[in-house]
Amino acid sequence: MKTIIKKTFLLATTLVASAFLLTRCDSGDEFQNAAKNRITINLGGEITNLGGSQLVIDESNPNNNYSRIDSINGYGYGADIILPDSLKDCDLKIIISGKIRESIAANSTIAVSLHGLADSIYYWGELGSGVYIHQMNSWVTMKDSLIIDRTKNNARSKRIKIFSRKTNGKGYFDVDDLIVEFKRE
């Protein structure tokens, strides 16, 4: 099951990324069309494992899975995305939306890391759950963004990883229907 999901996600990501490889950030008028400036990826059903956590079958919809992390498995499922040339050498806005749920307030986050040569980390950012979760054990919708500036997102940028992360505490942190949009600023 995991292999099929992983292959489906990699194929979809490759197709989307290939469509944008023909454009560059430093070009002029060709970027007037917003479609050339952004990529949107829906991770709702196509999540890849970046950590040692588990996918949980949704109690209310057996056709849906969501990522659950706890005090033992600190990293959740997420995406490892090859950054197309069209989104390098520019300020890159990453907009993340989805549903989150937490059993105990524990500083859980959606983490974003930009990697370059030899998998070195050029950027690390986190979007905290505490801003959105005001009632434990209830799904809430979140939408937030961060910007990776041009000095970090340069020509040597290779891939972006996005995943849920629990830094401490007991209980669980769930993430579902994650949508990630990359937008050239």
Convert the pLDDT of each residue in 11-61 to its tens digit.
344 333 333 332 334 443 333 344 445 566 655 544 445 554 577 878 888
- Burial environment of residue 27 by CB neighbours within 10 A (0 to 12, 13 to 18, 19 or more): exposed
Say if CB 161 and CB 99 are below 8 A apart. no
User: What CATH number has the domain bearing residue 127?
Assistant: 2.60.120.660
CA-based max dimension of the chain: 52
Overall residue count recorded for the chain in this entry: 185
Q: Tell me how many domains the chain contains.
A: 1
Query: From the CA atom positions of the chain, what is the Rg in Å?
Result: 17
The model's pLDDT over 84-116, given as tens digits with 9 standing for 90+, comes to 888 999 999 999 999 999 998 877 999 999 999
Which domain covers residue 72, as residue numbers? 2-184
The Cβ of residue 172 has, within 10 Å, a number of other Cβ atoms equal to: 20
Q: What is the pLDDT of residues 104-150, one digit of tens each?
A: 887 799 999 999 988 899 999 999 998 899 999 999 999 999 999 99
Q: How many CA atoms lie within 13 A of 125 on its CB side?
A: 18
Let me know: does 66 contact 56? Beta carbons within 8 Å: yes
Containing 3, the helix (H) or strand (E) segment is: helix 2-20
Q: What is the mean pLDDT of the chain?
A: 76
- Supply the pTM of this predicted model: 0.74
- State the Cα–Cα distance between residues 128 and 108, nearest whole angstrom: 6
